[in-house]
Structure formats: structure tokens, C-alpha cells
Homo-oligomer: A and B are copies of this chain.
């Protein structure tokens, strides 16, 4: 498909995509397989906005704003390095779009505290973060802010994992409530675009890959770091001798091969050999190491180039954010008009 055909395809669909990442760390292979790859594909077919969610990052880093601030350009460089094209995808910074904060304030009056406390995603995250009784108000209410992000761009499709579905339900509740109050369809409901890829486990096979657990393979990991991570991977603890039959279920090396190796027939063959006996973990790990190094090396390299010109990243983010503010401000303006608050 050439560029013209792509453009025509894009204008045919009214679907708009909103997606993004908390700017709380560099992106890793879990992001790559779970969402970045998909975004690269989607940008040819849809109007896509990617939000660098620094405000959301602050909701559980309120006392450590630098942890968020220092990662904004990292995330933008990650995007560009994996092939997100700023000419096709709008990349913008949440904190640079005041209309998102304003929408959040309006929506907060339409959602009860009890409803937020029942939100399964938030509940689960609150437990995971060990806030105890000290939940920041900004954290409890971040589903409202997320509804602002989604509705500000009239997004109709939101790529999510199924653990995030309650967030979209919350958004659509706000959409319906607001439209009902004003008696017109200012806001648009969204649908999830579920990722087909199950969550990538961490090398230990137990936890999910997580910046905070320090068990990630990042998009800018170098060859040595990748080799080290693969070497530490959980395989089959009963597979003691090479000639023994091994188990591929729960074997992280095979999970990663399934996710990242370009030749699935070859991976199937390896699995058969491994299950039959005669294929050692050293060999499978070497194959995975080669595969990941081949994948990550060019990303790593492009990423370094982008990071060498931070002014360019800032300029890109500024342009995207200005466009985004214009669009979000239009939605805000419609709400204010309908509320009778647009006096000037």
C-alpha cells in the first residue's frame, strides 16, 4: 500500500485511537509486544494520538516529580525508535494540555467517591502499591482524568489489556451522564481494542515485567544486558540433563520465543525437540538471546540517536501538544457552552 492509499484509507474511517504511557520509566519488551508494535501498525489505518501521561505518572509519584519528569523524553525516544511516526501519530504531553485538567474537574462532579472505590483496576492497583490508608486523592480519581484524556480527542478505540476494561466502562458512564445532562451527544463512547498478546512475564516467570521490580529488558538494553536477562530466565526446573524431556509450558524462554521469534515454524520444531529430550536450556537461551539482540539492537541504536537531539524531541512534543490542546479545547468549549458557562 502506498502513502496515498494509506491516507485515503485513514480518511475513510472515523475511528480515532487514544493510547499512551505513564512517563515513569523507559519502555520495555512488555510494552513493545503488548502495545508499541500494535500502535506502529494502527497508525497507518487510524487517527492515533499517543499521550505521554506525566500527570497520571504523578498520581503515585506526587512526592517525587523528577521520577516522572526525567522520563518524558525517554518515552518519546522509545516511541520513535520502534517506528512510531510523528507524521502519522500525534505524540503529546498530558501536562501541556490544560483542557485535560479542566475536563477532569467537570467530570469529577459526575462520579461518586463510592464508584471510584469500587473500580476493580484501581482497587487492585491500590493493593499492589501498598498505599494502605494513604491513597492520594489524585490516584483514586485518576480514572476520571483518563476519561478526560479519552473524550478530549473523541477517541472511539482505546487499545487496552483486559485488566483495563473497567477504566473504559467508567469513561463511558461519564460520557452518557454528561450527554444526558446537556441533552446532546457532545461526548463519544469508546470501545476497547483488546491486545491479542497475553502479558509478557518477567524473566523469573512469576511477576509481570515491571519497572519497579527491576526485571525488565528495556528497548535500549544493550547486548550484554539482554544476554544476562535471558540467562536468568526460568525454564523447566525438572529438566536437569539435556537428554531429559523438558516442559515448554511456563518455560519463559519459550514464552519469549513465541512472542518475539519471527519464524514460528522453527519455534514449534524447537518445542518438539525440547519436549522429546535432547535440547538443552543453554541452546534455547542462546537462540532467544540472538533473537532479542537482533530485535533490540536497531531500536537501541535509533533511540540513542534521538536522545542525542533532545531539542528535536521537545519540539515534536510541543507541536503535538499544541494540536492536542486545540482539539481538547474544542470539546471543553462545547461542554462549557452547553453548561451555559461560555460567557466570553
Contact = CB atoms under 8 A, between A and B. Distances in A.
A331 B82 CA distance: 37
Contacts of A139: 109
Determine the main DSSP class of A at the interface with B: helix
A35 interface: no
A259 B69 CA distance: 55
B69 A341 contact: yes
Interface string A134-148: 111111110011000
A183 to B, nearest CB: 11
Number of copies of this protein chain within its complex: 2
A339 B61 CA distance: 11
Sort chain A's interface into a size bin: 35 or more
A144 B139 CA distance: 14
Contacts of A134: 112, 114
Contact of A318 (B70, B99, B344): B344
A267 interface: no
Contact of A112 (B59, B136, B144, B318): B136
Interface stretch (A90-98, A219-227, A231-239, A269-277): A90-98
Interface in A60-113: 60-63, 65-66, 68-70, 72-73, 93, 95-96, 98-99, 101-102, 104-106, 108-113
A25 to B, nearest CB: 15
A1 interface: no
Contacts of A113: 113, 135-137, 140
A66 B183 CA distance: 13
A135 to B, nearest CB: 5
Contacts of A181: 62-63, 65
A344 B137 contact: no
A228 interface: no
A317 B339 contact: no
A340 interface: yes
Given A69-B341, A344-B318, A135 B112 contact: yes
